[in-house]
Each structure stands twice: as structure tokens, then as C-alpha cells.
A and B are shown apart, each in its own frame.
Chain A
């Protein structure tokens, strides 16, 4: 416990921990000291002088070292000669801070008058207008008139693309440096900086592409003026015209808390549309940050290519029909003697969908299969993070192991949080086959050859790193699937689980195993009993009625496409006409999560609720509803209402015991205290009023087990080793069906080679070649990267090339 310090701010007595800055102490007491450059997530720099306050300290008698007393016995206080910046001055015992005196008011007025001398005051066309700290503070404390000669106003460029995502308006910048400091200190990408000085100062970037950072959007939240705006939202809407709907980002397993800002608009034919995605504070998940994929990749939700009507196959063609006809067609099929329903579901479905589909399958003597390329989720269910976990509380004495994952690409916000944990003193151990951006912050970082991860883990545990991990007060292990298939990652997870069990790092907060899944609810699927098939092709070939939801196996793998083509009866529920849907007998339009409510379970096992941001736009239904409707026609009762479904789920699934939508909606005060009332303090992120979510309980007593290491592919002469990797801006449907906003950064069908391997084969960067993999040829573009180990050919997932585990690849 740090020492507590007592002080008075205006007339309010405050007690805060030693080291607290005056500005934060005031905030605790409900007094908002205006700031521009100060941000509670960053070190203070005292650059803008907006936070000037009058500070008095007790007078100490030099001879005795005792406080001098007034006649009435109260300690004598002495004000400093000048005002002090509340953002850089820490509190001290007996201090008196005055922030409402005429002197302070005059100082604020002067600072604002200076800031406004050359400010364009184009609030009516500024994106920030309505949620702008400069506007608010000028109204609150500024002068009503400027003494500045209007003709002397400087004019600067107003449309400076820092990259294709962020625009700079030079006239509006007040030079607070928040954006530059965020990029350097928090995002770890010092790709924007000040250029020139004084009135010539501007924000510049020199990278290619410009402002090359996957966290760039956050700068537009914390910029206290409209100087940084996103290409996506610029001139999109006025802040006060929009509604705010709490939700969860569905682009990866982190589960960042977001708000969908929506607005009715002519461009959407008078309908409501999502105008932007904003962070919503959850200090245990994403704090107040989002990655750019989460912020800009939402357009798929309102893509014009979404499925709008149910369809059934008639004479070889898919034709639109009513829901009744579609449901009838499925029910009839299920009723035929040889019924039996195989559900193949992906981790994009909500808990409620997965639960209802499972109930339907169970009732129909069917089975549920999880469509995934990564295993180990049964283990994260047993030795995952326990309630009370928060990566932000990892520090000195704690350890984190990351194995087989490029977190910066796969789960950006986890990367950011682990970087911070390392800065607080946690020992970060990274075990990967190639250099990743986490290495810079790792205490120990080791490499292994693709295919040798199990040996590498054994060696790591036996060595110095093993000591660090075993002796850590708390230990969290993140495992991914770089170069691994379902079995390979299962084996890695088992080895890691064994270490956690052996060293007593299970069943308590901040300890356990986390899977770096690529879907928002993969963990939920595992928790609800969904498991990958041992042999998916065989399962699908045998199935009588197959229902594929939230997955596109045919698009991923031509072999599966072949199998699905031959299906006896295939039902597909999806947002888009996927390769799988094209082969279906019945296609059902699913509702995107932005148009319904539900819950996802994040990789950290936090169940979080999302709400409907928009009314359902198409004649679509949730998968949960589809299951309920089919069930009803079969004479079974499955709940339709999502809160009720969740209650039922919680009652039947031990880990979810006691949870309800209401529980998920509970909140408690978080630090920094932020609110939309004083945007200047921490930016335009939303406060969390809709729920912080709940971490699932751990049930059962985990036991060590021998990992089953899958066999390596037989070496083929002259062949390279095809290695599946996961990239942030991939080609999954969420990005392919988004607008072009992230287009420039999206990957294509490409193969990454080491410079020497490329040279030996006479390949240069950008060359269009064909690779031979799994007895087929695939056109790809060559990317040369020095971090790729010799002999490896890295193939990003989701570009349509079936690389799901290590395999021989010929060029």
C-alpha cells in the first residue's frame, strides 16, 4: 500500500496515494481541472499550460524542521510565486490547491486566447465539433473576444493525409503532442513526429505507407481538437446526431469493448447506419484503445452483398423462398428416416447460437463440430484465466510466456498489454520460430525450427526460462498456431498446461493458459462443448443433414469444397454467399451481431455482452432463432429470446453458473475516471455503462497428460516447408466485405520467403509464381522477408490456400 497524502483542493479535502498528480487527485474529488496535453494514460509533459493552478504548501521552520503554525494553531501556508501545472506537480501533505481563484481563471483565459490566435474556428465543419475539448474549454474558460489581429492569422494546409487512414488539419493542431507520445510510448510505433517549431510546427510522418501503425486510429480519439480525423469518419456525421450502442469487437479473441455510433441517413435510404466504431473503457480488456482492424473493419456488417433472403436449391439453382418454406424444407429432411444433424459451427457465432444449435443437434441424435484450425480449447477451459484476472496487474515477479504466435498481428491489444506488463517488470518469455515485434520487450526470447516446437518447449522449460516461469508469482501462457494445425497446437497447449499444473499456476487470478484464437467466440465454443472433428472430411461425407454456420470450409479448402459438394443435404447460415453457401441445398441469411444482442467469450474467458446497434436490416435471423424455429416444427421447445437462452445456457453449463445478461451488464468505477462530460481529460472513448463482463469460473480439477505430438510431413527433396501464419489484415470475410478503407493494407495470396531461398530459386520480390501444395497449384506473389527462417515458406491464412499445418511445398 503506498503512503496516503492529505490535501485540500478548493474547499474539498482529498486523500490520495503519494505520487498522485494534482490533476488526478482533483478528478477523484470530482473537480475537473482543464487540460490539453495531459492524458491519464501517459507521462505528463507540461506543454500546454492549460492546467495552471495556485498551490500553497505548509511553511517549515528550517531550524526545527517543524511546520510553522498560525495564531489559531493551523499550519501556516505559503503560495508559490507563480502558478503551477497541475499535470506535472505531485501532491504533498498539507497542500492547498486553488483552482477557482481569479488568478487561475485569468491564466486559463490567456492560454485559450493564445491557442485561438491562429485556430481556424471551423467548428461547423469539424468532425470534432460537439465533442471537442477546445470548444468545451473555450466555452467554459475562454475569452469571448480575441484581441488578435484577424489579418495576422496564419493559414496552414487543411487536408494532409498522414496515411490513407488518418488526415491532419494543420490549422487545428494545438501542438499538445498527445498523438506523438501515444505512438511512441503506448503503440511502440514512433512513426509520427513534430516537424519545425513554433507556429510552423506540424505533425509529420515519413513511413511507407504513411502513419504506418496498427493503432493509428486511437490518436484521433485523444487529439483534443479536430486535427486528426479518420478517413473513415471524416464529414460522416455530427457527434450529437449519433446514437451510441455498446458492443464488442468481433475481429479477434481479445474482445475489445466498443460503441457503435449509428445515425439515420439518406445515403442508407433513410435507414440507420453505423458511422464509426469507438472504444469503450474496459480496463481489464482494452483500456480505452482499439486496433485499426477493429476500428475500421466493421463495414462488412452493412455490406450490400449480405444475404437478404432464404434460398433453396431447385433444379440445381438457388432460388429465394420464404422462411417458412426454407424451414419446412429442412424439417422435412430431418424427419426422413435417415435423419441426424451434423452442426459445423465457427467461432464467430454468439454463445446463444452455439447453445441452441447444440440443443437442436442433441435432440436430433446429431453432433456438433467446431470448425477451427487451432486446438487446445478444452485445456483453456480447464486451466484458463480465473475470475479476477487482469493483464494490467501483471508486473514485477510475474511472468508471461508467448509461444507460436505473432501477437502484434494476431491480437494487437494483447500485444500492447504484454508490452506494458514487461515495462512494469513482468518477465516476458517469447518462443517463436521467427522474430516478432514482441521480442523487443522480452526478457528471454528463443527461436525454434518449424516443426520442432515440442522439443523447443521442453528445452525452454528445462533451462533458465523454465526457472523464471516456474518461480513466477503469477504465470500466464499465450499459445498460438503459427505453423501448427489443430493437433500441433493441441500438443503445445497440453505441454503448457502441464507446466502450469506442475508449477501451481492454475485456478487463481492472473494464472493460466490463453489461446490466441482468430475468432471472437472460439473460447465460447470450446466452453460449450464444441470440438473439432478428428477427420472433418469423413464426418462431412457421412453426415445426412449438415448445418454449417459461421464458417466457410469450402472457401478455405478445395478438398472440403469437394466433400461438401457431395453432401446429402447441406444447410448454410451465413452473412454472405460463401463458397460453402454456394454448395448448399438451403441457404439462410444470418443476422450480423450488430443487429442483435448476444454474448461472446473472449480468449481471456471473459463473457461480454453486445447489444443491437441497428434494427435488423434484412429478412435475417440469428442462428439461435433458426435452431428454435426448426425445433418448434419438430415439436421440440428451444427458447427464442436471447436473454432466456443465455439463462438456460448458464443453468446447464457449469462454467457459466450464476451468469445472466444482467450480471454481464454490471459495472464498477474504473481508473482513469472518464466520462463524456470532460472529454479533455482522456479523449472521446466512451465510459462503460453497459457492463464489464464476467470471467468464467474454472470447473473440474485439471491433470497433466502426455502431449500427442503430430508427425512432421515427410521431407521432399527441394521442397520448402509450407507454414500457415495469421496476419492482421487478412482476407477473412470481415475485411473482404468491408469497404476499401483498409484495402491498401490487406494481404493477398502471397508466400514469404527468406532472401537466400528466394535467390536460389531465382525469385525476386513481387514475382508472380505458382506453388505446388497438396497436389494442386496456387498462384501467389513472392514476398521476401529476412525474418523468415531458411527452408520455410510462410503462407498467410484466409487467402484461399489450404495451408493448415506444416506441409511440403514446391515452387
Chain B
């Protein structure tokens, strides 16, 4: 089993250097991002490792993971589309949008397509309340926002992503 320290020594160093030693718990989030970079989820081993690296309890790490919809402790698709379904977005038609998107992919909210490409999740406010329907996309290491979405714009994106994934060399 590869530990984070073995895999990403440089990144860890860079992240830790950003915070004063007595506040190294501030590095929880960047380290969690690092941990889920490759597989899209944080393993229990990684949680342990981050906890001991930052001298905080594992409970604290999982609390942070649980609070943010950004972190995942269970496997999902190659891409995760997280659609806001909070009040402002709902008024802007987010619920219908979410339903259509799911129907288009033939899955329910929270599920992953059978080809393993897409997971659709409903999440609370993404802080783009005036631009709903909105979703954030995770899967290529970054988080990208897609605002004022329609089923058409989303379909186009899914197609692009599909092609991008097909172009990936599968080891």
C-alpha cells in the first residue's frame, strides 16, 4: 500500500509549508484533496495518515470530510456532477434540471452510470445562488463550476467528458 508520504512527498511539503507549525491542522483540506486526487475518494488509511501527520484525531478529519460535499469516502464515477438543490437554485428550476439530467443518464440521484463515468449528486448551496441551476464537476483534479445550466448545455458537457475519457489510455 502506497502511503501519501511515499507518493506525494513534494506536494505534502509544499502544503505544510503554507501554514505555521502550530496551525498545521489548517492543512486538512488541501491534504484531503491530494488524497482523493487519483481515485476520487479518500481511503481510511489516508485519513489515518493525515491525522497523524497533523496531530489531530481521525474523528476530526472525518468530520471535515463529512461537512464538505467535496470529499468522498466511497467510490463514485470517473466524473462527479454535484447539482445544487438549495432554495435559490430550486426556485430557478434546479429540481427539474436534476430530474431531467438523471433521466437522461438513466440513473437516480446519488447513483453512478453503468459505464462508471458519471455520478450525479444533489448537494446544498454552492454559493452561486443567482446563477442556478448550477453544478460543480469533479474528476480531473480540479473543481469546475457550470452555472445557469440547461439540460442541453449539460448534455453537451457530458459528451465532451465522454470523449475525453475515451481518449484516456487505460492501463
> B141: CB under 8 A from chain A?
no
CB-defined contacts of A206 to chain B, threshold 8 Å? 47, 57-59, 61-62
Point out which of A191, A193, A196, A207 has the most chain B C-beta atoms below 10 A from its C-beta: A193
8 Å CB contact of A192 from B59, B61, B67, B124: B59
- Taking the closest CB of chain A, its distance from the CB of B1, in whole angstroms, is 19
> A204: CB under 8 A from chain B?
yes
Q: Count residues on chain A whose CB falls below 8 Å from chain B CBs.
A: 13
A194 touches B58 (CB 8 A): no
> B144: CB under 8 A from chain A?
no
CB-defined contacts of B66 to chain A, threshold 8 Å? 194-197, 204
Q: Which residues between 32 and 64 of chain B lie within 8 Å of chain A, taking CB atoms?
A: 47, 56-63
> A120: CB under 8 A from chain B?
no
CB-defined contacts of B124 to chain A, threshold 8 Å? 197-198
Q: Count residues on chain B whose CB falls below 8 Å from chain A CBs.
A: 12
> A205: CB under 8 A from chain B?
yes
A191 touches B57 (CB 8 A): yes
Q: Mark A187-230, 1 if CB is under 8 A from B, else 0.
A: 00011111111100000111100000000000000000000000
A196 touches B57 (CB 8 A): no
Query: By DSSP majority rule, is chain B's interface helix, strand, loop, or mixed?
Result: helix
Least CB separation from A194: chain B residue: B63
CB-defined contacts of B62 to chain A, threshold 8 Å? 193, 195, 204, 206
User: How many Å lie between the Cα of A194 and that of B66 in the bound state?
Assistant: 8
A204 touches B67 (CB 8 A): no
User: How many Å lie between the Cα of A190 and that of B59 in the bound state?
Assistant: 7
B59 touches A207 (CB 8 A): yes
User: How many Å lie between the Cα of A197 and that of B47 in the bound state?
Assistant: 19
Least CB separation from B51: chain A residue: A206
- Taking the closest CB of chain B, its distance from the CB of A149, in whole angstroms, is 18
A190 touches B67 (CB 8 A): no
User: How many Å lie between the Cα of A207 and that of B56 in the bound state?
Assistant: 12
8 Å CB contact of B63 from A195, A198, A207: A195
CB-defined contacts of B59 to chain A, threshold 8 Å? 190-193, 204-207
B63 touches A204 (CB 8 A): yes
Q: Mark B15-28, 1 if CB is under 8 A from A, else 0.
A: 00000000000000
CB-defined contacts of A205 to chain B, threshold 8 Å? 59
Least CB separation from A202: chain B residue: B66
CB-defined contacts of A191 to chain B, threshold 8 Å? 57, 59
- Taking the closest CB of chain B, its distance from the CB of A440, in whole angstroms, is 11
User: How many Å lie between the Cα of A141 and that of B57 in the bound state?
Assistant: 39
Q: Mark B115-131, 1 if CB is under 8 A from A, else 0.
A: 00000000010000000
User: How many Å lie between the Cα of A196 and that of B70 in the bound state?
Assistant: 11
CB-defined contacts of A193 to chain B, threshold 8 Å? 57, 59-60, 62-63
User: How many Å lie between the Cα of A205 and that of B63 in the bound state?
Assistant: 9
User: How many Å lie between the Cα of A196 and that of B121 in the bound state?
Assistant: 14
- Taking the closest CB of chain A, its distance from the CB of B12, in whole angstroms, is 21
- Taking the closest CB of chain B, its distance from the CB of A210, in whole angstroms, is 10
- Taking the closest CB of chain A, its distance from the CB of B105, in whole angstroms, is 23
CB-defined contacts of A207 to chain B, threshold 8 Å? 57-59
Least CB separation from A205: chain B residue: B59
Least CB separation from B61: chain A residue: A206
- Taking the closest CB of chain B, its distance from the CB of A236, in whole angstroms, is 28
Q: Mark B65-87, 1 if CB is under 8 A from A, else 0.
A: 01100000000000000000000
Sample (7) of A-B pairs whose CB atoms are under 8 Å apart: A190-B59, A191-B59, A198-B124, A205-B59, A206-B47, A206-B62, A207-B57
* Chain A residues close to B by CB (< 8 Å): 190-198, 204-207
Please list the 10 inter-chain residue pairs (A to B) with the smallest Cβ-Cβ separation, ordered nearest first.
Answer: A193-B63, A195-B66, A206-B58, A206-B59, A196-B66, A193-B59, A190-B57, A194-B63, A191-B59, A206-B62
* Chain B residues close to A by CB (< 8 Å): 47, 56-63, 66-67, 124
Query: 13 additional contacts, CB 8 Å, given A196-B67, A205-B59, A207-B58?
Result: A190-B57, A190-B59, A191-B57, A193-B57, A193-B59, A193-B63, A194-B63, A194-B66, A204-B59, A206-B57, A206-B59, A206-B62, A207-B57
